[in-house]
């Protein structure tokens, strides 16, 4: 089964992202707006149980932190994905790093660029028009991150939360 580890931002930020995703993201219905900390990876139940314990430890050691989103950016020319750029901060990088060491699968497809996807899989002309107008959009969003989610993919390719890990909670 495929799993991934993400941060779901506040409803305000999700609403802002979804206003665009409804129109420009064909995977809109598959998962709510999120920041990917660990991309999709395969794991069996014994590994999942081990990693749940590890994620609990990581979450317990992590203090809530603030993220800022101040612009729209793109991964072009690699892909025509348009996103809200989450300002990189040490807390995000440390979380990402901890989820790629030790017992976690170490594979990484790309460098870590914290973001919330708002458009993808656009044809060239549509991409140029959409990105051209969105990058001029004034974006000033702030959020407090105090939890991460382990999600898994269903057969219909939608993602659902397996478990939520709140920062600073004691391991039970």
CB burial string 56-73: b at 16+ within 10 A, e below: bebbeebeebebebeebb
How many residues in the chain?
172
34 catalytically annotated: yes
Rounded distance between C-alpha atoms, residue 12 and residue 141, angstroms: 9
**């478990």: which residue's tokens?**
163
Query: What is the DSSP code (8-state) at residue 75?
Result: -
Active site residue 115: yes
Is residue 54 classed exposed, middle or buried when 0-12, 13-18 and 19+ CB atoms within 10 A define those classes?
A: middle
| Strand-pair partners of 168 | none
Which token pair is 148? 């991460």
**DSSP state, residue 87:** P
User: Looking at 30, 34, 96, 100, which residue is catalytic?
Assistant: 34
Catalytic residues: 34, 115
């Amino acid at each position: 089964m495929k799993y991934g580890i993400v941060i779901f931002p506040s409803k305000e930020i999700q609403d802002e992202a979804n206003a665009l995703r409804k129109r420009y993201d064909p995977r809109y219905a598959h998962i709510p707006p999120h920041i990917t900390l660990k991309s999709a990876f395969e794991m069996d139940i014994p590994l999942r149980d081990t990693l749940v314990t590890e994620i609990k430890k990581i979450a317990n050691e992590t203090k809530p932190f603030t993220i800022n989103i101040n612009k729209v950016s793109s991964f072009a020319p690699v892909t025509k994905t348009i996103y809200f750029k989450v300002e990189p901060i040490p807390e995000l990088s440390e979380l990402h790093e901890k989820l790629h060491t030790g017992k976690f699968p170490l594979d990484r497809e790309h460098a870590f660029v914290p973001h919330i996807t708002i458009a993808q899989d656009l044809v060239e002309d549509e991409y140029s028009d959409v990105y051209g107008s969105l990058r001029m959009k004034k974006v000033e969003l702030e959020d407090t991150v105090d939890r991460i989610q382990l999600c898994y993919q269903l057969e219909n390719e939608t993602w659902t939360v397996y478990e939520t890990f709140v920062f600073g909670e004691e391991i039970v």
